[in-house]
Amino acid sequence: MSDLYFLTDEQMARLSPYFPKSHGKPRVDDRRVLSGIIFVNRNGLRWRDAPREFGPHKTLYNRWKRWGAMGVFGRMMEGLSAQRAEPQTLMIDATYLKAHRTASSLGVKKGISGV
């Protein structure tokens, strides 16, 4: 089961302050649920297709929906990015993008001379 987790103990320790507190009965393991959410989103699966080891698919979906509405994922990203001290530069190479066939002839209509 431990090979199904996407996050190490150290990573979960850094994320634990961002999870909402449990009220009442104990929740299903946050690490297992978060790994299931990552697995489903990473592989583009339906919630039903998540492996049983991550827990019930309804639990995965409910946590994803609830945590998203509460802003948990956004706070995680903001908090983790604020902890990073050294600046980073990200570069995107867009040479692979295809241009539409009419991109080079904008404004020129068939049968009208450009002169």
Tens digit of pLDDT for each residue in 4-36? Answer: 788 888 888 888 888 888 888 888 888 999 999
- CA-closest candidate to residue 67, choices 26, 24, 38, 25: 38
pLDDT, residue 45, reads 92
pLDDT tens digits for 32-51? 999 999 999 999 999 999 99
pLDDT in tens, 45-94: 999 999 999 999 999 999 999 999 999 999 888 887 776 656 667 776 66
Task: Find the domain containing 39 and state its range.
Answer: 29-87
Which burial class, exposed, middle or buried, applies to 54 when counting CB atoms under 10 A from its CB (0-12, 13-18, 19+)?
buried
Q: How far is C-alpha 37 from the chain's CA centre? A: 9
Residue 20 lies in a domain: no
User: Does some domain include residue 71?
Assistant: yes
In a domain, 44, yes or no: yes
